[in-house]
């Protein structure tokens, strides 16, 4: 066969898969092709069970025999001949991801880029002081000294920790032999030979003394002293200004007040990696614990009306009675339905206070006496998958949530709807350095979020579990991922991507399918939607009826050719037949 024909068309001869009746067909490549017709007429048999199946089989056969033994054998479709096939990718209407760690963010690959962004430009905020934690270097110390007024006197110091097994004079003689002359002991600057074996609370080695001058040669000398100080002080030094006796601490270590923190890197934000995953739930976000929905099954009831299921019994109602009896002491509304309680009031019911024992205390007491069968039975009634109480469902270690961009940690971003997330990145303002560092990452993030929004999935968030998505949602995320990967020269086969899509979003879907075609791919869509049929480059109309009476190609060609045919689809396109709106 002419190679030019194969480059431009997929040639199918004698397809007999399922109800297909020995059909011959040519499909133009690098076009948007719609396979339509009655349900059961053979659309999927042609698109998925013939074209895609043969494409996959040939790809596997092209691999080495060693690799093929791990992949299994694919059955050859019932077909005489097929040529011009490209590598095939099927995006079907099914949720084929059973991995409980998989989310919208990981499957769409948006989360991978957000991880990189936080590793590159995220600020680690101290959970204790609320200040940014960052490494110091020679430049930051030099900038601090340059802020002094002319003539200001200062000392460059290194804190000394004397071992217990030698005297102070013996310890300082080591530094004296290296050329150092002075120390600062409890606020007093002394020559090393003047120091006695007295026990000092604070002992610093004086690396250099200076009187500030805004002179290049002088600054070079200061830089040498700073570098020397970092070497002697295990990456930490102090600058003391003599006019106010204030000490300023600088360290090359990533720490605050002596406590070391993990410096941001992409693994810190990965819940699929032990380095970043929460230690308690191992990155799943939930654990087997006490399920609040089982403990309080009817939130329309109040505490007084026995909304807490385990406290209903004759023996255990003493816990409820203690709460009711003491509610006036902390102004708790015992007659208000549980769902109307504030977040703080609900937390109080679970945690308790000095006046009553909370739900958590009740279950903890049961767990302490697990040897009693009645306790094990009681606990089994209320156990279920519940949000991890360590990471609060974020799946990450607490230190990862201390890293922020524009006052938001990575979990807060992933909990936003994709519509709001798009606005966040559009309004994000960064300095020139961070803009340059994150330019390519931000471009990928914005492009992928916009694609998903255009597919009508703006209501989802990146934390949504993949196995909780509908078939249509899963398929559209896979479409967005495919476009984001910029793969060319491939053949995409889609199964009714418009299902579950609001009619106003159909035009956006068509634009995305056209974009997939325009970058050099063949796009074959099994579809019933009129707008998508009208927007396609080529249409294959299957029929005439379903099942045993189907499996034939009734019409094939562009929209004009289909409308001039005598197929059932053409009668609806020409409005000869209509489906009345109920």
- The string of pLDDT tens digits covering residues 193-213 is 888 777 778 889 999 988 998
DSSP state of 151: T
Per-residue model confidence (pLDDT) at position 170: 85
Q: Is the dihedral of CA 396, 399, 404, 408 positive or negative?
A: positive
Read off the pLDDT band of 96 (50, 70, 90): low
pLDDT on residue 168: 83
What is the average pLDDT across 561-565?
90
**Long-range contact set of residues 419-423: C-beta below 8 Å, sequence gap at least 24:** 419/453, 419/458, 419/459, 421/449, 421/461, 421/462, 422/446, 422/449, 422/450, 422/453, 422/458
Q: Are 314 and 303 in contact (CB under 8 A)?
A: no
Mean pLDDT over 81-86 rounds to 89
CA dist., res. 451 & res. 512, Å (int): 8
The strand pairing partners of 524, in sequence order, are 33, 493
CA–CA gap between residue 532 and residue 240 (Å, rounded): 73
The predicted pLDDT at position 552 comes to: 92
Contact (CB, 8 A) for 419 and 459: yes
In this prediction, residue 483 carries a pLDDT of 78
pLDDT of amino acid 126:
87
Whether the predicted pLDDT of 134 surpasses 90: no
pLDDT at 60: 86
C-beta contacts of 250-257 below 8 A and 24+ residues apart:
250/136, 250/140, 250/141, 250/144, 251/135, 251/136, 252/135, 252/136, 252/137, 253/135, 254/124, 254/133, 254/134, 254/135, 255/133, 256/126, 256/128, 256/129, 256/131, 256/133, 257/128, 257/129
pLDDT at 98: 67
DSSP per-residue string spanning 2-31: -HHHHHHEEEEEEE-STT--SEEEEEETTS
- Three-state DSSP state, 289: strand
**Residues 544-568: what's their mean pLDDT?**
90
Secondary structure element (H or E) that encloses residue 424, with its range: helix 418-427
Kindly provide the residue ranges of all beta strands, DSSP E only, lying in 426-561, ordered along the sequence: 491-495, 522-526, 538-543, 552-557
The mean pLDDT value for 76-105 works out to: 84
Give CA–CA dist 118/16, Å, rounded. 53
The per-residue pLDDT for range 244-298, each reduced to its tens digit, is: 888 888 988 888 877 788 889 999 999 999 999 999 999 999 888 888 899 999 9
Residue 188 pLDDT: 84
Task: Report which of residues 196 and 160 the model is more confident about.
Answer: 160
Rounded CA-CA distance 320/308 in Å is 8
Q: What is the mean pLDDT of the chain?
A: 88
For residues 167-183, average pLDDT: 87
pLDDT band at residue 404 under the 50/70/90 scheme = very high
pLDDT value at residue 161: 85
Contact by Cβ (8 Å): 524, 49 = no
Taking only the tens place, the pLDDT of each residue in 311-349 is 988 888 899 999 999 999 999 999 999 999 998 999 999
- Report residue 493's pLDDT band, with 50, 70 and 90 as the boundaries: very high
User: Which phi-psi region, left, alpha or beta, contains residue 202 (left: φ > 0; alpha: ψ -120 to 50)?
Assistant: beta
Report the pLDDT value the prediction gives residue 11, as an integer from 0 to 100. 92
Which residues, at least 6 apart from 426, have a Cβ–Cβ distance to it below 8 Å? 446
């Amino acid at each position: 066969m002419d190679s030019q024909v194969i480059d431009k068309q997929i040639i199918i001869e004698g397809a007999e898969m399922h109800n297909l009746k020995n059909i011959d067909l040519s499909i133009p490549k690098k076009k948007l092709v719609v396979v339509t017709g009655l349900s059961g007429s053979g659309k999927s048999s042609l698109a998925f069970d013939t074209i895609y199946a043969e494409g996959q089989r040939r790809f596997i056969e092209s691999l080495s025999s060693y690799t093929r033994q791990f992949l299994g054998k694919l059955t050859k479709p019932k077909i005489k001949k097929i040529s011009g096939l490209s590598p095939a990718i099927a995006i079907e209407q099914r949720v084929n991801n059973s991995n409980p760690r998989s989310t919208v963010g990981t499957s769409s690959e948006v989360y991978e880029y957000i991880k990189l962004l936080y590793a590159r430009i995220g600020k680690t905020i101290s959970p204790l002081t609320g200040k940014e934690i960052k490494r110091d270097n020679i430049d930051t110390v030099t900038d601090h000294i340059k802020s002094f007024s002319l003539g200001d006197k200062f000392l460059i110091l290194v804190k000394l920790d004397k071992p217990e097994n030698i005297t102070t004079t013996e310890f300082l003689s080591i530094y004296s032999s290296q050329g150092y002359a002075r120390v600062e002991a409890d606020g007093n600057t002394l020559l090393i030979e003047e120091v006695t074996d007295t026990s000092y609370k604070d002992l610093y080695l004086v690396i250099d003394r200076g009187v500030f001058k805004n002179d290049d040669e002088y600054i070079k000398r200061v830089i040498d002293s700073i570098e020397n100080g970092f070497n002697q002080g295990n990456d930490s030094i102090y600058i003391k200004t003599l006019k106010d006796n204030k000490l300023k601490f600088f360290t090359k270590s990533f720490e605050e007040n002596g406590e070391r923190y993990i410096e941001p890197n992409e693994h810190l934000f990965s819940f699929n990696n032990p380095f970043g995953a929460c230690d308690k739930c191992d990155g799943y976000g939930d654990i087997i614990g006490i399920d609040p929905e089982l403990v309080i099954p009817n939130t329309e009831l109040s505490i007084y009306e026995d909304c807490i299921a385990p406290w209903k019994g004759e023996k255990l109602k003493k816990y409820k009675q203690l709460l009711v009896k003491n509610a006036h002491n902390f102004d708790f509304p015992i007659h208000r339905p549980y769902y109307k309680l504030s977040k703080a009031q609900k937390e109080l019911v679970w945690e308790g206070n000095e006046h009553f024992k909370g739900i958590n205390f009740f279950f903890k007491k049961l767990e302490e006496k697990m040897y009693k069968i009645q306790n094990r039975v009681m606990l089994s009634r209320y156990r279920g998958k519940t949000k991890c109480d360590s990471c609060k469902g974020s799946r990450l270690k607490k230190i990862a949530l201390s890293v922020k961009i524009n006052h938001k940690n990575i979990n807060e971003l992933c909990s936003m709807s994709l519509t709001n997330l798009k606005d966040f990145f559009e309004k994000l303002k960064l300095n020139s350095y961070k803009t340059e560092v994150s330019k390519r990452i931000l471009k990928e993030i914005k492009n992928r979020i916009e694609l998903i929004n255009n597919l009508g999935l703006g209501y989802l968030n990146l934390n949504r579990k993949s196995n909780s998505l509908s078939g249509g949602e899963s398929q559209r995320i896979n479409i967005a991922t495919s476009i984001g990967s910029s793969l060319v020269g491939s053949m995409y086969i889609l199964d009714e991507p418009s299902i579950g899509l609001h009619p106003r979003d159909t035009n956006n879907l068509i634009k995305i399918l056209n974009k997939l075609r325009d970058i050099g791919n063949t796009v074959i869509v099994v579809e019933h939607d009129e707008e998508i049929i009208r927007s396609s480059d080529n249409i294959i109309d299957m029929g005439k009826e379903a099942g045993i009476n189907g499996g034939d190609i009734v019409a094939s060609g562009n929209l004009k050719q289909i409308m001039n045919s005598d197929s059932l689809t053409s009668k609806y396109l020409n409005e000869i037949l209509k489906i009345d709106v109920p």
